[in-house]
Structure 1
Amino acid sequence: MTFGELETAGATWVRGFFAMPDADEGEPGEAPAISTLLQASARGYGTVLSLKFPSFPERGKPLPRPGTDAMNAELRRLDQVLPAVLDEVDVLVIGNEPFIECPHDDWNNGAINAFYEAVADHVIEYRAAHFPGGCRTALYMGALNHLEGPGWTGAGTERWMTYVRDTPEIEGTDIHPHVASLADSDAYLDYVLPRLGPDKKFLVTEFSLVQLWEEHLTDRVAAEYAAKYGVPPGTRVWQVIKKALDEPFPQDRWYDFLRTSPWFENNKDYLRDQVRKFRATGKLAVATYGIGQDTAMSSDFGPGKKPWLLNSLFASRSVQPLPDGTPAPNYAWLDEFKALQHR
């Protein structure tokens, strides 16, 4: 992400996340995610920071239990991060994707809730002690995933929502509806809204149709596209994307690829339609959307790779830069994103 891209998109908010073990590596306020958000705040953007507990390399390890040395280590990390971000960012999300980032055994045995409630209580106490006159930073819990799928709701998510509803200092919960259809996002709203209570809201710091894109990676490319660009008729969607990443396409070719793919073309108004659905609830606090094709989503692309890069506002890896050197818009999303800044 660059500030030039944000300006081109007419963006008004910026969101990032910080992996808490990185607090062991140096001053958190100087870490790229946090320092960039602080720069954005100074430029007048609204800012959202999600705290990730624990980071992906630690996935599979049991969550620390309150009162243990491991839990105390997590709280010490918090005490390093909070001075840099409280009263600086507009929204602090306690957790990134907790039900993905911990072992399945901890979902419904109370461990995930005990951990995140202890973290949230610590943040609440710290904020009250250090900002007795008030703090601009709103606190949310986050984020719930896969609520449209079987097995992703249960005792853990019920207690999660109860804590959100019954804790006055927590203003709501975050959700990440990465779905296969617009209708699938209804499961998130159907689950969260009745459990929020009258005074709480929800964030959507990530959302997309990436599950739909993934279903079509092994489809054959459209005959029209194959004929126009001399591509063998049996070429698969993922092979076209890989070729574009290996040797970035001219803008027209990338657009033709997506335009002739019905699974994409028929959903090119998704961004507008999804945000309207969120806003219609009257409970949306902030929604944010991915801006660029980064290294992680672009490297080693194949039929088993999650095609996050089709979501991005800019095709910074799959399309050649524009004549002025800036990244090309990613076909469908930029105009709708810009329009959505003005309700």
Structure 2
Amino acid sequence: MKSHSTGTALGALGANFNEKLTWMDHGELERVNTQWIRGFIDMHQIDALHAPQDPNMQALFKAIDAGYKTILSFKWNYTNLSFPAVNSAGITTELECLDRVLPLVLGKVDILVIGNEPFIEVQQGHADARLNTFYETLADQVIRFRNAHGITSTRLYMGALNRLDLPAKRTPAIERMLQFIASKPELEGVDLHPHMPTLQGHRLMMDYVLPRLRPDQRFLATEFSLVWHWKKHLSDAVSTEFCARYGFPAGAKVHQVISAAMQKPWPYAQWEDFLSLEPWYIQCRSFITDAMRLYRSTGRLEVATYSFCPMRLRKLPLPANGDPWMLNGIYAPSTVQVRPDGSRYENFPWAEEFRKVQRGEL
């Protein structure tokens, strides 16, 4: 078994797979010197009675056995549901599911996050005290279970929080969750998902969050990107040079050209040409190193994880108002043909950026 242990995790960069832990390829992880992996499981989708047989759980355990450090988030999707009342049958069901899954992961994963994106995975109008009560109940259950079994090797975080660069998102419910996190000595800190249009937004979010935690607490950034910057440019005209070189009509839009690549994947060189000729993209080519430099400058980053698998198998067209996650990944998405041996190409420029961070070139 290959050991990837580094002792402290402070300031580490790893790979995020979201709900697609089954897409994990250890060879791809090794190619960019990854030591940490992160994913989530949907607590409303997993069969708690047969959780060890869940494919994502099996992929997680395989990574642990291979020596990778791991972050697991529990997701509760309430976008179409109302939060159950305290002492109701609904909350009892949630707690029973937790009690079945916790023995499988506590003491095995390095970090467990209570929540995925609670302020997004919520029914409209319910991101208030009802949300706080629900997640506080779950967190207290995790803490009780962990304490009762004397498990200290799995560190606990809570979150993840989104778009706190925007004053309108800094609601009483957000304040209450941060106060709750700060009040619990068993919680190591907060998880953040800094998907922002600018790097300054990342800074504003941390400037808001970190003073509200205890000085000894840290943060995770298990998802971070410039996806909203990319989205602003989906209706831009693609460079005339690229259109002329590859036979696209003059004035073709970015989302149209990406859609064409998803429908009939390109050779890697064509994908790199497309990206490198778009100024709104190439001007951000140092984003991963810039973001990691910012996060580490706080002295309070535990681990950040960057996307490995956005839109990996997507074939649907990308609309002008779509979310262009496929531009983010460390490995090339379904816009690019695979290599002759079936392996995927690294994405431009993020794989090399990722390696630079691992080499300490900040």
1:13 deviates by 0.4
- Match 2:140 to one of 121, 125, 130: 121
> What CA distance in whole angstroms lies between the structure 2 residues aligned with 1:223 and 1:26?
57
SS of the residue corresponding to residue 221 of structure 1 reads: coil
Superimposed CA distance per residue, residues 291-336 of structure 1 (whole angstroms, 9 cap, x where no aligned partner): 1244575534222321101000111411111233211111110011
**Regions of 4+ moved over 6 Å:** none
1:227 deviates by 1.5
Q: Is 1:200 paired with 2:205? A: no
> What CA distance in whole angstroms lies between the structure 2 residues aligned with 1:113 and 1:13?
30
The one-letter code matched in structure 2 to 1:309 is: M
> What CA distance in whole angstroms lies between the structure 2 residues aligned with 1:101 and 1:204?
18
1:67 deviates by 1.3
SS of the residue corresponding to residue 168 of structure 2 reads: coil
Superimposed CA distance per residue, residues 96-143 of structure 1 (whole angstroms, 9 cap, x where no aligned partner): 0000011242223x111111110000001011112x2x4311000010
1:150 deviates by 4.3
> What CA distance in whole angstroms lies between the structure 1 residues aligned with 2:330 and 2:139?
33
SS of the residue corresponding to residue 228 of structure 1 reads: helix
- Match 1:336 to one of 347, 353, 357: 353
Superimposed CA distance per residue, residues 210-246 of structure 1 (whole angstroms, 9 cap, x where no aligned partner): 0011111111101111111121112100011111111
Aligned partner of 1:306 in structure 2 is 323
Aligned partner of 1:69 in structure 2 is 89
SS of the residue corresponding to residue 264 of structure 1 reads: helix
Using a 3 Å threshold, how does the CA distance of structure 1 residues 25 and 161 change in structure 2: closer, same or farther?
A: closer
Aligned partner of 1:111 in structure 2 is 130
Moved more, 215-224 or 61-70: 61-70
Q: Where do 5+ consecutive residues of structure 2 fail to align?
A: 1-23
Aligned partner of 2:256 in structure 1 is 239
Superimposed CA distance per residue, residues 27-55 of structure 1 (whole angstroms, 9 cap, x where no aligned partner): 2222222221211111111100000012x
1:266 deviates by 0.3
> What CA distance in whole angstroms lies between the structure 2 residues aligned with 1:211 and 1:226?
25
Aligned partner of 1:184 in structure 2 is 201
Moved more, 279-288 or 23-32: 23-32
1:254 deviates by 0.5
Aligned partner of 1:85 in structure 2 is 105
> What CA distance in whole angstroms lies between the structure 2 residues aligned with 1:53 and 1:9?
32
> What CA distance in whole angstroms lies between the structure 1 residues aligned with 2:69 and 2:27?
16
SS of the residue corresponding to residue 127 of structure 1 reads: helix
Provide the aligned C-alpha RMSD in A.
1.5
Moved more, 170-179 or 287-296: 287-296
> What CA distance in whole angstroms lies between the structure 2 residues aligned with 1:14 and 1:70?
32
Cα contact 2:37–2:71 (8 A) shared by 1:
yes
Aligned partner of 2:191 in structure 1 is 174
- Identity among equivalent positions (%) equals 42
Matches within 5 A, 1:212-227: 212-227=229-244
The one-letter code matched in structure 1 to 2:196 is: V
> What CA distance in whole angstroms lies between the structure 1 residues aligned with 2:100 and 2:237?
51
1:82 deviates by 0.4
> What CA distance in whole angstroms lies between the structure 2 residues aligned with 1:200 and 1:234?
50
TM-score, scaled to structure 1 = 0.94
The one-letter code matched in structure 2 to 1:315 is: A
The one-letter code matched in structure 1 to 2:63 is: A
Aligned partner of 1:282 in structure 2 is 299
SS of the residue corresponding to residue 139 of structure 1 reads: strand
Matches within 5 A, 1:2-13: 2-13=25-36
The one-letter code matched in structure 1 to 2:192 is: I
1:76 deviates by 0.8
Aligned partner of 1:42 in structure 2 is 65
Q: Is 1:273 paired with 2:293? A: no
1:73 deviates by 0.8
Q: Where do 5+ consecutive residues of structure 1 fail to align?
A: none
The one-letter code matched in structure 2 to 1:18 is: I
Aligned partner of 1:20 in structure 2 is 43
Q: Which has the higher contact order (CA 8 A, sep 6+)?
A: 2
> What CA distance in whole angstroms lies between the structure 1 residues aligned with 2:287 and 2:357?
12
Cα contact 1:297–1:308 (8 A) shared by 2:
no
The one-letter code matched in structure 2 to 1:28 is: A
SS of the residue corresponding to residue 318 of structure 2 reads: coil
SS of the residue corresponding to residue 46 of structure 2 reads: helix
SS of the residue corresponding to residue 147 of structure 1 reads: coil
> What CA distance in whole angstroms lies between the structure 1 residues aligned with 2:271 and 2:49?
41
1:26 deviates by 4.8
Moved more, 300-309 or 183-192: 300-309
